[in-house]
Amino acid sequence: MRRIEADFVRRRPPGRAWWGATVLLLGAAVALAAWGWTVREDAAGVRAQMQDWNARVDALAHQATRRAELPNEPPPAYAADAQAALKLQRVPVDAALASLESVGTVGVLPVSVDISAADATVRVQVEFSSYEALLKYLEDLNAGEPNERWILATAQGTAQGASGRPTALIVSRWRGRE
């Protein structure tokens, strides 16, 4: 013999309330899953955006750090030449040379022209025969200038140049293109 599990209770089929609750639960589960998926997608987007921002912030911080560290670094080898070239651009060489070329005074002979880009000056060494001729040369150089541009820096009447004449140094200062 063995156990007998006879049972005469009729199992009623699920009623409308049961089906309604089941449908509601299923709908809630689907809605919850969809909401979770949406939140997950949003979170992924926000995370990616935050990573992008972090990368940009890191790049900016790195760039700022490099900028802050730049003064401590030795200047590159070309820096001096580049700066000189840059400053040279600020000196109106053509105008200075045109002034020198447009003036011809008997008894004054320019022997050298030194253009200094560092302090934007043009130094002209001349040999002169007399102070009168030298002053006339200066007057001709500054003719038409609102201010006296060319200045007699030194005049060495006793010192003789290559030709045995006295020499003088005339300096003009240029600030920007004029």
Partner 1 sequence: MSSVRSEGAQAWLGWRGVAWRFGEQPWQWQPADGLEAGVTAVAVALKADAAVRRPQLTLWLAGSVARPFIVQPVPGLQSWTEARRLAEALAPDETGLTGPCEVWLDAAPPGHAVLGVAIETATRETIERVLAAHGVRAVAMRPWWTAALARALDAQPALSRIVVAEPESLVVLAGRDGVFSATATCAPLPSPEHAAAWLQRSVLSLGIADGEGVRVALSAGAGLDDAVMEAWA
Q: In the complex, what is the shortest distance from the CB of residue 22 to partner 1, in angstroms, rounded to a whole number? A: 20
Cβ count within 10 A of residue 84: 13
Q: Select 5 or 94, whichever has its Cβ closest to partner 1.
A: 5
Q: In the complex, what is the shortest distance from the CB of residue 1 to partner 1, in angstroms, rounded to a whole number? A: 5
Q: In the complex, what is the shortest distance from the CB of residue 5 to partner 1, in angstroms, rounded to a whole number? A: 7
Strands 150-160 and 121-128: unpaired
Q: Select 6 or 68, whichever has its Cβ closest to partner 1.
A: 6
Q: In the complex, what is the shortest distance from the CB of residue 24 to partner 1, in angstroms, rounded to a whole number? A: 23
Task: Tell me how far the alpha carbon of residue 144 is from its chain's centroid.
Answer: 39
Q: Select 9 or 77, whichever has its Cβ closest to partner 1.
A: 9
Burial 110-145 (b: 16+ CB within 10 A, else e): beeeebbbeebbbebbbbbeeeebbbbbbebbbeee
Q: Select 6 or 70, whichever has its Cβ closest to partner 1.
A: 6
Q: Select 21 or 82, whichever has its Cβ closest to partner 1.
A: 21
Q: Which residues bind partner 1 (CB under 8 A)?
A: 1-10
Q: In the complex, what is the shortest distance from the CB of residue 4 to partner 1, in angstroms, rounded to a whole number? A: 4
Taking alpha carbons only, the member of 113, 170, 96, 173 closest to residue 137 is 170
Q: What is the dihedral of CA 80, 84, 85, 86, to 10 degrees?
A: 100
